[in-house]
Amino acid sequence: MSKFFDTTMRPMITAVAASERIKETSQRLTVTRRVVERFVPGETEEDVLAAIRDSLGNGLSVTIDHLGEDTSDDAQAARTVDAYLSLLEEMSRMSPPTPNALEVSVKLTALGQMLPRHGRKIAEENVHTICAAAEAAGVLVTVDAEDHATVDGRLDIVRTVRRDLPSLGTVLQAYLRRTEDDCREFAESGARIRLCKGAYAEPPTVAFADRTQIDEAFLRCLRILMKGNGHPMVASHDPMMIGAAHELAAEFGRAPDSWEHQMLYGIRTDEQLRLAGDGHRVRVYIPYGREWYGYFVRRLAERPANVTFFLRALADRRHPVTAAEPA
């Protein structure tokens, strides 16, 4: 099943995601929105604040993503910054039970990275603004990964901003062939690094496609990060990777607060609570906002179980789908 999913279903889902007509139709369907609630708690700031409080109350840390990509003008990028500043103001009033429990995740394309005129400069200024406000609010910031064409520019901006705000973290995707070298650099620098397998459709010239190769690359990268000077953030729901993280943390004598698990909102919630109950830091990635379609499609493309969940909802529109169903 996994091979069929990797070779046939994932490329098909990715191709569908590129269709504006399918996107518009999907966004109008009540059943789609019902399933999306499994992965996205809502479109408004009030929705995500409620999800934050619930997660903190369950002993989990959080990272919040205001959904939006492919920013087309300066004003759109500015609106994204304003959304983060408003959210950070609300988060500054919270009293989380553990230090560094609050974080936001930002995409540089949403902040203007790909704008034709001065995109890099605009994105760098915008992320600096968010980081400064986050530091004042006692909230961490991580710059999200996107497709491979944005990596050089993203990491360059991260390096620059970290000179003033060294707590800034970023994401490295293990399936990219370059990532081991990037892990070595950022582990040496003491950075906070979220390591994930990868969620974008990439050509084989730049990324591993075989699931076994991706797993092996993830483990090599994880070893580099655990051995290094930074703060590894292990973004995986895979039991094998979760177990490997514990083994490597023990091998390199890492204290519990020197690394963490990260998982997606609505996926393996029971495992999140189990790990937190065992004394591990678990950070839940909680997205919100109106631009949920791209995020939703990437979740479908990640795991066969997510597609099964969606198809069950399509097959039975009479009954609501709840987040309690297994991923």
Q: Is 326 exposed, middle or buried (0-12, 13-18, 19+ CB in 10 A)?
A: exposed
C-alpha pair distances (Å), 45 with each of 22, 58, 104, 131: 27, 20, 13, 19
Would you mind telling me the total number of residues written for the chain in this entry? 327
Q: d(Cα 4, Cα 37) in Å, to the nearest integer?
A: 27
Dihedral (CA of 190, 138, 77, 121) sign: negative
* Helix-, strand-, coil-residue percentages of the chain, each rounded to 5: 55, 15, 35
CB 279, CB 256: distance < 8 Å: yes
Copy the structure tokens of residue 264.
Answer: 């997606």
Q: d(Cα 77, Cα 109) in Å, to the nearest integer?
A: 9
Query: Closest by alpha carbon to 224, among 239, 245, 204, 242?
Result: 245
* H or E segment and range at residue 111: none
Q: Distance between the two ends of the chain, CA-based, in angstroms?
A: 16
The CB density around residue 32, as the number of other CB atoms within 10 Å, is 17
What phi, psi does 67 have (nearest 5°)?
Answer: -65, 135
Amino acid at 158: V
Q: Of the listed 10, 65, 144, 182, which one is catalytic?
A: 144
The CB density around residue 113, as the number of other CB atoms within 10 Å, is 23
Q: Of the listed 10, 38, 194, 283, which one is catalytic?
A: 194
Told to judge if 144 belongs to the known catalytic residues of this protein, a careful annotator would answer yes
Q: d(Cα 40, Cα 47) in Å, to the nearest integer?
A: 9
Active site residues: 144, 194
